[in-house]
Amino acid sequence: MKGSVTARKLRLVRFLIGVTILGLGLSTCALAKEKRQKAPPTGSELQLVLDDPANAVQTRGKVTLEVKAIGLYYDFPHIFGFSDEEISQIQGYGGNKVVDLNVFAYYPKDKATGKRYLMLLKSPDAERFFPAFWIKLRNDTDHIINFSKDAKVYFQAPGSEEPVPPVTDLLMDVDTKLLAWEAHFQQTRKKGLLDIPYPVGLAAGAFNYRFGRWQESGFQNKEVLPGMSASGLMIFGSVIEKTAANQEASLLFYEVPTETNAAGEVTVKSRFVFKYRAQLVKEWLDREAGRWKVGEPPQLGEE
């Protein structure tokens, strides 16, 4: 009789322990779910958006130009994406050549590519940026096209009456401003009790790392052979401020050789115009993917 009572007590104890463990497990799951459902960071930045998306590709005679304004960097991992190994090699950055907590905090690792996307053409607060375009040209003429010799390219910034040509000395025109923007952001941003400083010098150093041989790789210096295509990045020195929202801008190509005769001599030159509007775009950080996404974040509780 006594043994049966003891056995019942043991079963009761096991039951209570099981209930307690289950309750702790459910609480842990609830806390984990609550953590997952924490509202993601949000923000907005100014981007150049085509007035008519159909005009992104234009053909004149035997030449086709396709242009894409650089907005979010994820479409160009070979330009803006950096591995941790690459970051550790960046000169001029005060992180002692290691990928430290400062980099982890401000630049999450994109799960799709395993890279961190650095803000090489904009200020850390996204208040200002350098306009840049990825340009692809198809040349079906019998003439070699080189924009530094055969044609002229200009960008008319929002609110400006004077178009500017592409940047030729990136380190002078862009690198110095990037470093100044980083330092200003670190000095003026809100700081909490457990503050993590912004890695000043990282973006400027990364820009140097990636664009050190710009004279050779810039699109305006490429030669597009007959029957071939070429593509590349073109950067302009007109800094666009966030206050330029809703204003118009234009990317202009003049005197592009578009027709040739049998001897390969240019017979027709054409103009290409790509009209843009500076537009504020809402973004949110997808923590699971490790990247910023355009639009409104999902509501809490949504899968």
What are the pLDDT digits (tens) for 38-47? 788 888 888 9
Do 32 and 65 lie in a common domain?
no
Same domain for 287 and 144? yes
Encode pLDDT of 13-67 as tens digits: 454 444 444 444 444 454 444 445 678 888 888 899 999 999 999 999 999 999 9
- What are the C-alpha distances in Å from 212 to residues 121, 139, 159, 160? 15, 28, 31, 29
The pLDDT, as a whole number, for residue 97 is: 52
Tokens of 170: 């990136």
Whether 220 and 132 map to the same domain: the answer is: yes
- The residue among 11 and 188 whose pLDDT is bigger is 188
Domain-embedded: residue 119: yes
**With bands split at pLDDT 50, 70 and 90, how would you rate the model's confidence at 299?**
confident
What value does the mean pLDDT of the chain take? 83
Residues 22 and 83 grouped into a single domain? no
59 and 5, same structural domain? no
Assigned domain for 299 exists: no
pLDDT-derived band at 228, boundaries 50, 70, 90: very high
Q: Is the pTM of this model over 0.85?
A: no
Instruction: Read off the tokens for 294.
Output: 């355009």
pLDDT at 102 over 50: yes
Q: Kindly state whether residue 301 falls inside one of the protein's structural domains.
A: no
Q: Is residue 303 in a domain?
A: no
Domain, as residue range, for 31? 1-36
- 29 and 103, same structural domain? no
131 in the same domain as 28: no
- Residue 268: is its pLDDT beyond 60? yes
Number of domains in the chain: 2
User: Residue 208: is its pLDDT beyond 90?
Assistant: no
Q: Which residue has the higher pLDDT, 64 or 200?
A: 64
Tell me what pLDDT residue 214 has: 63
**Is 169 a member of any domain?**
yes
Q: Is the pLDDT of residue 181 over 80?
A: yes
Q: Are residues 57 and 183 in the same domain?
A: yes
pLDDT at 31: 46
- 237 in any annotated domain: yes
Q: What pLDDT is attached to residue 12?
A: 45
Please check the confidence at residue 145 and state whether its pLDDT lies above 90: yes
- Quote the CA–CA distance of 204 and 197 in Å, as a whole number: 16
Based on the fold, state whether residues 83 and 25 are members of the same structural domain. Answer: no
Residues 166 and 223 both lie in one domain: yes
Write down the pLDDT at residue 44.
86
Most confident listed range (6-10, 68-72, 208-212): 68-72
Residue 300 lies in a domain: no
Output the pLDDT for position 37.
64
What pLDDT, on the 0 to 100 scale, is given for residue 253?
96
What's the pLDDT score for residue 134? 93
**What local confidence, expressed as pLDDT, does residue 267 receive?**
96
- 29 and 4 inside one domain: yes
Residue 172 belongs to some domain of the structure:
yes
